Structure formats: C-alpha cells, structure tokens
Structure 1
Amino acid sequence: MVAASDVEEARLAEAYERGREAGLREERRRRSHPFRNLAIGLVALAGAGVLATAAWYGSFGRGGEVVDAQLAVAADRAEPAMRAVVSDAGHALRGAGRDLQSQASDASSVDERL
C-alpha cells in the first residue's frame, strides 16, 4: 500500500521539476546577447554625447550644428584615407596575382621537362 506522504512527495517532486524547467526556459528567453548590449551601449553613448554638446552650447540647434560640422570634418578626413587603403589593397592583390602566375608557369615548365 502506498502511503499518502509518498504520493504527496511524488507530486511535489513533479511540480518542482515542471517549475524548474519553466524557470530555465524563462531565463534563456530573457538572457541578453552581448553584441546587442554593445550596440545599445554605443547608441546610448552617442546620445549622451549629443545631449552634452547641446547643454554645452546652450541649445539643441547650436549643438546639432556643431555635431554636424564635426561629422563632416571626420567624413572629409576619412575619405582620402579609405581611398588610399583601397588602392594599396588593390596593388597588393595585383602583386600577389602576378606572383601566383609566375609560380604556376614555373611549375608547369618543370613538369614539361620531366
């Protein structure tokens, strides 16, 4: 004969497991992603910078003008640097291609001699 306390313990253990599994599912659902957190942090930092600039210059209009001017300067400086990097990468790729072609032609000439 099964005692009432054994049945109660079995029901309690079953309820505990169901609750534990539900809690784990909920925890996994709420767990945050590090890249998402980084993106949110960067956006918040940029927003804080805009607010600080607006407070420094006394208005959002003047602060916005300053931010726009700074972004324009950064873009003007970045464009020539990016063009130089792309050009250097293109030259490096062309050189690597020439090296591979000469290695391939050297290997085929060795094969022909054998």
Structure 2
Amino acid sequence: MKPRHLHLSEDCRAVSDILQHIGDKWTVLVVSTLGGGTLRFNELRHAVGGISQKMLTTTLRGLERDGFVTRTVHPTIPPKVEYELTDLGRELLVPVSALGTWARGNIDRVQAARIRFDLSREEA
C-alpha cells in the first residue's frame, strides 16, 4: 500500500496536467466558440480571431486527444472537416463559460488593481 501523501501527489500531477490544457487561453476561446455548435476549421479560426492556423490545429488536436472535441471528416472534394464538442466538452463549457462571465464582469476591478500595484512599485 502506498503512503497517502504519494497518492495525493499523483492526484495533484494529474489535475495539474488537465488544468494546464484546459486553462490555456486558446482552449478557453475554442471551447466557448464551439459551445455555439459545430464549425469547420476556417469558421472556427475566424470566430476565435487572432489565432494562427498552427495554434488552432495544435489546440484542436489537444482537445480531441483529451476527449473534449470530435473531428469529423466528410468524404467530399475537398474534404469537409467539422469540429464539435463532445458530451465531456459540453460539461467543460459550464465552468469555462462561468469563468468568462466572471472575467468580463471584473475587468475594471482587475485593471484598477494592476494600476495600483504598478504605481506602488514605481514609488518604492
């Protein structure tokens, strides 16, 4: 039997690994955008805004690997590829949306705190 502290350490690493993926700004934006429904790659890229093709590809692959997104290739010429949230991805949308709502509601407070902090550092 493993000591309890080793089990907690393994849990912390696993949670940290998951949060590292889902806490990334692009992941949050992609999941939020896909919350509106299925999108093709370029539709998603334009909807997210500011994300490079490479970063979107990397983000989508990570989300697909973690089970949050499905990628469907339709056999047309050229191939039509669509992305949508899985059930797990829709569950993730709940806290992601709440975090986005909180961030939008507290932009002014956070910016004011940053200004106070920066001014206090300049005076020191």
TM-score (norm 1): 0.29
Point out the structure with the larger strand share.
Answer: 2
Larger Rg: 1
